[in-house]
Each structure stands twice: as C-alpha cells, then as structure tokens.
Amino acid sequence: MGKLELIGIVLLPLILCGMYIKPEILLYYLVIDSWLIIRISQLSIIHPEFTFNRIIVYLGLLIIIIKRLQSRSLFPKAAKSGLTVLVIIFLVYLNMSFISWTHEPNFLIANNLVFYFVALALLDQDLEKSFRHISVVAMIPVLLLSVSSMVSAVVHMDIGQRSYAGNRIQSAFYVILGLCLLFGYRKMVQDERIKRIAVTVVILIGAASVAISLGRMVMIICVVLTLYYVAKGYVRWWAVLVVILIACTFALVRLDLTMIYVNKLARLTERGGTKISEYNKDEMAAFTSGRSEAYKTAWRVIKKRPIWGVGYDWWARNPRNITGSSLHSRWIQILLECGIPGLLLYASLYALTALYLIGSKTVRGSPNRRPIRDSLLAAMTAFFLIGLTDNHGYTDRLFYLVLAMIATLRFSPPRSQPAVNS
C-alpha cells in the first residue's frame, strides 16, 4: 500500500464522520478535491471502480438523504428547475452514447450527476453562506497553484510550463475559476477591511500566475473577464493594462518561448494569399501546436457519423487514435462523440444559464446575490471559451458545481425571505 492510499484510508472515516455532523463538509472537500487533490480522489479502495472520491460522494449522498428525510424535505427547490432537468437529460444522453459502443455504463458520468444533486442539496440551505465558504476554500488551491507556478518560474526559469496541478493551461484555468468566485466574495465583504485586503492579495497573486502562463487562450479569457469586471465596477480600467503589462514582461524575459510562437506565425504569413486549407501539414501543425491534425482527423470521423456520433469517450479510448488522447476542443469532441443532439444539449446548458443569470428574478430579494450572479456568469464564460481549444467543460466536476449554484441562485429564495415565483 502506497502513501497516498494510506492517506485516503485515514481521511475516509474522518470525512464521513464530519459529514454526518455537518453535511457541508462534503461540499467543501469536493471543492478542494476538484481543484487540487486529484491523485488522492482517484485512488481505488478494494475494487478499481470504488475510488476514494466515489465512496465519499455516494455515502455523502446517503447521509444527505437521511438528513433531509428527517426534515421532511427530500428534494432541493432547484431540483425542479429547467436547468436540473436539462443537466439530467444531458448526462443520461452521454451515458447512453457511451453504452452504445462499449456496452457498459460510465461511472464518471453517474458520479457527476450525483455530485450535482449533492451540491444542490447543500447549497439549498443557505446559498449566500455556502458561496462565501466555497470562495474561502477556493483560496487554498488558487494560492497553491499560483505560488507553485511562480516558484517554478523563478527557481527553474520554467515560465509558463509547470505547477502543482501539472501543465500550465490546467493550472491557469483553475486559477481563473477561483478568481471568478473571489471577485464576488470580495464584493460581499466590502465592509470587512481585513478580509477584503486578504482576498485582494490572493486575486493579485492569482492574476500574476495566469499572466506568466503565456497560454494564448487563458490570456484571452483573462483579458475578457478583466474587461467584464471593469464594466461591472469590480476593478478599475488600469487593471487591464496591468494584466497585459505582466504578460508582456514575462514574455520578454523568456524571449525564446515567445519567439517560438512568433516563428510559427511568420511561417503562415510567408505564403501571402494562400488559403488556410492549402497550408501544408507541418505549417498548420506548428501554428496550432498540433491541434490542426487532431481536428482534421475528428472532422473526417464526424462526416461519417454526423447525427449520433461515434460514442462518448471514443476519442480517448480508440486504440487507432494516433493524434493523442486529447482532442483539445470540447465543442468539437461533443459533436464527434455524441453527434448533433449532444452538441445541442451542451449548447443549451450555456444558453439556459445565460437566461437565468441575465434575468432580474435571479438576484431579487438579496443584495448579496448580485455579486454571486456576476461570478457565476464569469465562470460560465470561462468554461465556454476554454472549451473552444482545450479540454475543460462537461467533464469537469467544477462545471457541475457552477451549474448547481446557478440553479440554486435562480430557484431558491434568499434565507429568511419569502419564495419568489419563477
């Protein structure tokens, strides 16, 4: 038995006992687990399918059901929302698509569905309080990911490459999600000076770590969200210039990394009026960091099965796949594997959450719900953009945490406030 397995076995009874006393502990554990404790959560106990994370989630659900039955309120208010129905349909469709070619169920999909309902049940008690606690918990992974990235940059001159979470894009994106919550939390503690200063420091550290990642899409997301928060009055206009200045400074420090991309761009422009479709394989692969070949392969498969797709998770499991296990686009991947219905269902999740968050009923009854709404809209925007060229979206547990908070924000009235008809 390894050290990680031993840690998991020791933590399991402690977390379960804590959950029975205070069920919110499950949500806070899952928040940290989703951001950071990836290796421990994936450990198997007794059987390969009985991972530490799944045991926690399913036993936690059982504890929550027992607790809610005692209070004679089994279903959270947001469980009856249109968004919850859509989440169920989407995940069931993914599972059916997986079964269609593997002839076995996908436990990860079931795990996401259970987690969504666990989040609904725990958020239903007091959304504002839960959001504050989740934001405080999120500060831990944001700091660890940011500091480890910056230490790697200073000590090893490994700017934009590695951190505790692995590759630079994954780390930077998880930091961005944390910052989305922290901006809302900072607004909610505006009258508490010490908390506000502490959150501001974490935000600055996180923003700096994202800037030194030198990732093209994460920097676009960072600038877009900075402009969004400027327009909302959370930060001042000079913040945009600071973000750009930090990125440019580190790009100059590691001029060799910067020039790699510049050379890729130059190779494309050398051929002047030639159409993109006529560029040779090496030029396009260099410019897109190898994504173009994966996209070409995916498109050939899509044309063969445009309606229903080839089956969920086919790309990673296909032994003949010579372009890698990651397609680097959640939008292309959902079309490839789950066809047009899967793509429409996934797009509908974004459309419906946008309608919920823009609607006036969402923030009615509590002044603290407006910064929560702004944070969740920023998080969904980040998921939408990163999904264009990377592997974050419907496979991330944090995606379903954000959806659960949106459904609760829309359909659960503020604490000590009368219900609002929706």
- Widest CA span in the chain: 71
* Distance between CA atoms of residues 230 and 238, nearest Å: 9
Q: Is the pTM of this model over 0.75?
A: yes
CB of 53 closer than 8 Å to CB of 42: yes
pLDDT band at 263 (very low <50, low <70, confident <90, very high): low
**Percent of the chain topping pLDDT 90:** 32
Taking residue 393's Cβ as centre, other Cβ atoms within 10 Å add up to 20
Q: Which residue has the higher pLDDT, 320 or 313?
A: 313
Taking residue 386's Cβ as centre, other Cβ atoms within 10 Å add up to 25
Residue 394 has what pLDDT?
A: 95
Helices of type H across 71-126: 82-102, 107-123
Whether the per-residue pLDDT at 300 is higher than 60: the answer is: yes
Whether the per-residue pLDDT at 420 is higher than 60: the answer is: no
Q: Which residue has the higher pLDDT, 12 or 208?
A: 208
Helix (H, G, I), strand (E, B) or coil at 263: helix
Residue 366 has what pLDDT?
A: 76
* Distance between CA atoms of residues 127 and 106, nearest Å: 31
Work out the angle at residue 170's Cα, subtended by the Cα atoms of residues 298 and 374, and round it to the nearest 5 degrees.
100
Nearest to 415 by CA among 51, 60, 131: 131
Residue 125 exposure: Cα atoms within 13 Å on the Cβ side? 15
Q: What is the pLDDT of residues 34-76, one digit of tens each?
A: 776 555 556 666 666 667 777 777 788 888 888 777 776 778 8
Q: What is the pLDDT of residues 270-299, one digit of tens each?
A: 555 455 444 444 444 444 455 667 888 888
Task: Enumerate the β-bridge partners of residue 44.
Answer: 51
Q: What is the pLDDT of residues 112-168, one digit of tens each?
A: 998 898 889 889 878 999 999 999 989 988 888 888 877 776 665 554 444 444 455
Integer angstrom CA distances of residue 262 from 30, 41, 265, 293: 41, 40, 5, 20
Q: What is the pLDDT of residues 352-368, one digit of tens each?
A: 999 999 876 677 767 88
Q: Which amino acid is at 83?
A: L
Whether the per-residue pLDDT at 3 is higher than 60: the answer is: no
- Structure letter (DSSP) for residue 360: G
* Distance between CA atoms of residues 264 and 260, nearest Å: 6
Residue 169 has what pLDDT?
A: 59
Nearest to 374 by CA among 197, 235, 214: 235
Query: Per-residue pLDDT averaged across 206-235, rounded?
Result: 84
